[in-house]
Structure 1
């Protein structure tokens, strides 16, 4: 019995030692020593709008916003500032569709519902703060600010909600924060993260007529969203 336990313990120790040795093998050991490196990313987003109201001629104004799942895709340029600090430029495209239902408006759907498509040229400058590397894993947090150009804004379109067109601003400033983990593989680094994006400026473009049941009650309308970001470097 003791011999069996000894053999079991011996082989268990050998197995554990072998596993520990394997875990100490670092993939891409010098990856984080480069001053510059590049990559690309893709992902999905669920961007909605935050809406706040102001006193208006329209009582009990209420706008319901629903959004569809959109996509993100872009490039990465990374500058190492410190062993644990990187500055990243991540230009790309961010797109999704939002449906606005004006619940204080009665009538047919073409009167009280507006579908707002948005495709942004997303130009964020991001500061990434990483922990020390643990074998082939490295958690991090990040935050940054971006300029976003909305190709679908219709800001300069003379048509407004009275002809069925909901307009938003073309140039926008947003900030984003997130958390993620770097995983080091033999030939590349894979970094999934979850990020929140928040518009700073007001994105609403008011209708041409002063008393508009669609835009007059709105004090602020700005993008609020979350997206899954998958980068390959």
Structure 2
């Protein structure tokens, strides 16, 4: 519920931003056109800063109380490489560093000291994305983006021999994702500013089970997958 509410708020914010830019000042009926030929270049580069909120989706082997996931706000930074394919389509490579934390609470564990697991993750994402841009209106051009990515989790603990019985939560080192989102290219005098929001969903199970069968932390989990969203502010 927390994740859905955040997504709705961010969607409304970006939509409001697009309307506001389209109606005011230099983005009105007779705007001063900035970077008129910018989209005609074959290749261009940029960088992004932003934040993220990631969750886990759990599926279970048998009916049980849900593991409670507490989300936090993480930080994103990365590079953008853009290859123009046609007037409306671009191919993008956006490698980036994503730092986040999720707090898991296990309601079925009696000992309160063992109920909480703080899952700190530092991902390096390698996404390959297809961008579809609408017609440019003045100095605004909305777009849709989607694709697939693979990510290296530097905090996975995948090779650690210890498990939850020693307070060590383990995840797979590599994970595959699909991503979908939308954004707005805003053409300013000296650069192009692109705020965007993107949903991200893992394809494969990320949980490494404990060494002891029937572990209260992992024994009843069929799958554990990351889901969440990124908000990036890109500068070209």
Q: What band does the TM-score fall into relative to the shorter chain?
A: 0.7 to 0.9
Cα distance in 1 for partners of 2:117, 2:100 equals 14
| 2:194 aligned residue (191, 209, 221) | 191
2:5 counterpart residue number: none
Which residue in the other structure is 1:179 paired with?
182
Query: 1:205 aligned to 2:228?
Result: no
Aligned residues of 2:70 and 2:103 also touching (Cα < 8 A):
yes
Equivalent pair of 1:99/1:114 in contact (CA under 8 Å):
yes
2:60 maps to which residue?
53
Q: Does 1:223 align with 2:230?
A: no
Structure 1 pair 19–102 and aligned structure 2 pair: CA distance change class (3 A): closer
Q: TM-score by structure 2 length?
A: 0.87
Task: Please name the residue that 1:35 is paired with.
Answer: 42
Give CA-to-partner distance per residue, 1:121-144, whole Å, 9 cap, x none.
111011000001111000011101
Looking at structure 2, the residues matched to 124 and 222 of structure 1 have their Cα atoms a distance apart, in angstroms, of: 18
Partner of 1:32, secondary structure, is: helix
Deviations 1:21-42 (A, max 9, x none): 9834210001000000000001
Rate the CA distance shift 1:53–1:112 in 2: closer, same or farther, 3 A. Answer: same
Q: 1:38–1:76: 8 Å Cα contact kept in structure 2?
A: yes
* 1:61 shift after superposition: 3.9
Secondary structure, counterpart of 1:169 in structure 2 = coil
Contact 2:104 2:116 in 1 (8 A): yes
Instruction: Report the equivalent of 2:17.
Output: none
Q: Which structure would you say has the larger Rg?
A: 1
CA shift for structure 1 position 219: 0.6
Q: Which runs of 5+ in 2 are unaligned?
A: 1-24
Any idea what SS the aligned residue of 2:85 has? strand
CA distance in 1, matches of 2:219, 2:103: 18
- Inter-partner Cα distance in structure 2 for 1:198 and 1:162: 29
Answer yes or no: is 1:169 the counterpart of 2:190: no
1:145 counterpart residue number: 148
Q: Cα distance 1:174–1:19, how it changes in 2: closer, same or farther (>3 A)?
A: closer
1:101 aligns with 2:105: yes
Root-mean-square deviation over aligned CA pairs:
1.7
Cα distance in structure 1, aligned partners of 2:84 and 2:46: 14
The answer on 1:154 being equivalent to 2:161 is no
Give the structure 1 partner of residue 16 of structure 2: none
Alignment correspondent of 2:73: 69
**Unmatched tracts of structure 1, length 5 or more:** 1-17
The question of whether the paired residues in 1 share the 8 Å contact of 2:55 and 2:69 is answered with yes
